[in-house]
């Protein structure tokens, strides 16, 4: 029976009709329509691009597009484009970049670019028979997918391995076609998924038409075909180092390097701390991946799985002191692209890549890892010295002032008053009310 309350065919409504829907649902006035349009671009070509990124848009949702200079990466100075709503992230990254630029900067090394996907299927025949026959199927599977892989292969990419796995411990009669890919400068999600769906189709054909299987054995059930965001074969290392003596006394902390290393050690051994520690790393990685049009949910999923690779979720970064030298490092999986997808259509994503001098996917992996380590360094530096709230809330003050709709004079007065104080919404509001009351009674 159809649920009459369900709204069907909503995506067929145009923007006006979708806003009509909101006005009616929320009991709003017509004014909301113009208000929603104020967030849109006057450039209709650009607006069309944004509208087509998703379904059912009613407006644009803005985030600041920021830049942070002074990232010295493998000896070259870079400016990072960053998109984040967290006010302190860009300031923290800028500070960490400048700090390390004076100490040799960040170093990166790519240790792999392999991406993976699987065709998950069930087959009730003899697993040994399939294991024996499978090498003979590989050629046909590869040949059948050639229509999709040809262009990628011409550029040096494509399928790099195709294996059969029998995994009855997961489900009875369950198998995987486990496929590895090289996708060069593309993140490759669409490419990989198209290839996997083609492989699934060919597999069914092999069972049905090869003449190698009995009537019963012809029956193969494809469960799904999808890439994996677990990309431990696509990895980047990043590190930075300096003599411990250069850190002594930093921010008034005599044993800075030791305290820093202890803070990282805690994150390596305590899950509650590790999750927050890694969130600080992803503050930087996400900001750069959003700016460059990369899929930050895929990155997050892969990075968190990697953080738990030894059976216990732990810090992604590592810090050590050896022979008077402080070293801060991290190795993480990243599957990103600089061609195709959002990077190809969003003008600001293209511009972000231009700011980075149009990097290859490998170079972008390095920059993302640098953003992660820099953001982690800045967070721990604040945590072990002044605490996080001072810097955080100072940046947050401008958000509070926007919410309180203060005048220019009030803004200046409040900023001066809170320059050396820890900020909270209620304290700012109380201060503002007192000032306003004093003015009306005088
Ligand atoms: C806040 O966005 C991130 C931090 O909590 C990270 C950390 O605790 O290391 C400051």
Q: Which of 16, 43, 52, 86 is catalytic?
A: 86
Number of the ligand 1 atom closest to the C-alpha atom of 380: 9
How far is C-alpha 28 from the chain's CA centre?
36
Nearest CA to ligand 1 atom 6: 280
Task: Name the residue with the closest Cα to ligand 1, atom 1.
Answer: 280
Give 94 Cα–ligand 1 centroid separation in angstroms: 16
Give the tokens for residue 327. 């070293």
Helical H segments across 102-233, by residue range: 127-144, 146-154, 189-209
* Candidate list 122, 218, 237, 279, residue with the active-site label: 279
Query: Which residues line the pocket of ligand 1, CB cutoff 6 A?
Result: 86, 276-277, 279-280, 283, 379-380, 383, 388
Task: Exactly one of 185, 197, 295, 363 is catalytic; name it.
Answer: 295
Distance of CA 86 from the midpoint of ligand 1 (Å): 11
Catalytic residue status for 295: yes
| Cα of 310 from ligand 1 centre, angstroms | 23
Atom of ligand 1 nearest to the CA of 88: 2
Q: How far apart are CA 400 and CA 413, in angstroms?
A: 14
pLDDT at 204: 98
Phi (first) and psi of residue 175, to 5 degrees: -135, 165
Instruction: Per-residue pLDDT tens, the chain, 442 aa: give them.
Output: 667 789 999 999 999 999 999 999 999 999 999 999 999 999 999 999 999 999 999 999 999 999 999 999 999 999 999 999 998 999 999 999 999 999 999 999 999 999 999 999 999 999 999 999 999 999 999 999 999 999 999 999 999 999 999 999 999 999 999 999 999 999 999 999 999 999 999 999 999 999 999 999 999 999 999 999 999 999 999 999 999 999 999 999 999 999 999 999 999 999 999 999 999 999 999 999 999 999 999 999 999 999 999 999 999 999 999 999 999 999 999 999 999 889 889 999 999 999 999 999 999 999 999 999 999 999 999 999 988 877 667 777 888 898 898 999 999 999 889 887 778 889 999 999 999 998 887 6
Considering the four listed CATH numbers 3.30.43.10, 3.40.50.11890, 3.30.70.420, 3.30.1490.20, the one that applies to the domain covering 115-228 is 3.30.70.420
Ligand 1 centroid – CA 382 distance (Å) = 9
User: Which residue shows structure tokens 């994150």?
Assistant: 267
Question: In the annotation, is 86 catalytic?
Answer: yes
Annotated catalytic residue 279? yes
Which residue from 278, 280, 328 has its CB within 8 A of the most atoms of ligand 1, so it is best to mutate? 280
Structural element, H or E, at residue 325: strand 325-333
CATH top-level class for 235-385? Answer: alpha beta
Q: Whose CA is nearest to atom 2 of ligand 1?
A: 280
Q: 235-385: same fold as 115-228?
A: no
Q: 327-337 burial string, b = 16+ CB within 10 Å, else e?
A: ebbbbbbbbbb
- Where do the structural domains in the chain lie, given as residue ranges? 10-51, 115-228, 235-385, 396-441
């Amino acid at each position: 029976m159809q649920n009459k309350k369900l709204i069907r065919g909503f995506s067929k409504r145009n923007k006006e009709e979708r806003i009509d829907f909101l006005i009616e649902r929320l009991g709003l006035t017509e004014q909301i329509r113009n208000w929603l349009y104020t967030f849109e671009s006057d450039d209709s070509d650009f607006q069309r691009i944004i509208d087509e990124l998703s379904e059912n848009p009613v407006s644009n949702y803005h985030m600041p597009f920021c830049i942070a200079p002074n990232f010295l990466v493998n000896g070259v100075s870079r400016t990072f484009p960053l998109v984040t709503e967290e006010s302190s992230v860009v300031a923290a990254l800028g500070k960490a970049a400048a700090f390390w630029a004076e100490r040799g900067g960040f170093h990166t090394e790519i240790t792999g670019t392999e991406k993976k996907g699987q065709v998950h299927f069930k087959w009730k025949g003899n697993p040994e028979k399939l294991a024996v026959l499978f090498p003979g199927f590989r050629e046909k599977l590869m040949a059948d997918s050639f229509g999709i892989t040809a262009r990628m292969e011409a550029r040096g990419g494509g399928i790099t391995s195709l294996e059969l796995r029998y995994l009855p411990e997961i489900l009875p009669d369950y198998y995987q076609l486990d496929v590895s890919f090289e996708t060069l400068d593309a993140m490759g999600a669409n490419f990989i998924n198209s290839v996997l769906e083609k492989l699934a189709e060919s597999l069914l054909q092999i069972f049905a038409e090869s003449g190698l299987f009995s009537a019963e054995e012809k029956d193969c059930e494809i469960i799904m075909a999808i890439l994996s965001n677990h990309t431990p074969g696509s990895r980047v290392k990043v590190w930075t180092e300096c003599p411990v003596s250069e850190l002594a006394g930093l921010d008034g902390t005599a044993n800075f390097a030791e305290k820093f290393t202890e803070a990282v050690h805690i994150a390596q051994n305590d899950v509650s701390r590790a999750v927050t520690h890694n969130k600080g790393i992803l503050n930087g990685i996400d900001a750069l991946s959003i700016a460059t049009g990369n899929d930050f949910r895929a990155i997050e999923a892969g990075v968190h799985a990697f953080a738990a690779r030894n059976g216990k979720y732990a810090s992604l970064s590592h810090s050590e002191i050896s022979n008077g030298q402080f070293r801060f490092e991290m190795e993480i999986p990243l599957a990103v692209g600089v061609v195709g997808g959002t990077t190809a259509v969003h003008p600001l994503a293209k511009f972000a890549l231009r700011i980075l001098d149009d990097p290859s996917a490998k170079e972008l992996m390095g920059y993302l890892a640098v953003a992660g380590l820099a953001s982690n360094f800045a967070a721990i530096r604040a945590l072990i010295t002044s605490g996080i709230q001072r810097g955080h809330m100072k940046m947050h003050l401008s958000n509070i002032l926007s919410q309180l709709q203060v005048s220019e004079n009030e803004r200046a007065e409040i900023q001066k008053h809170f320059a050396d104080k820890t900020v909270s919404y209620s304290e700012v509001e109380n201060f503002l009310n007192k000032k306003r009351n004093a003015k009306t009674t005088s």
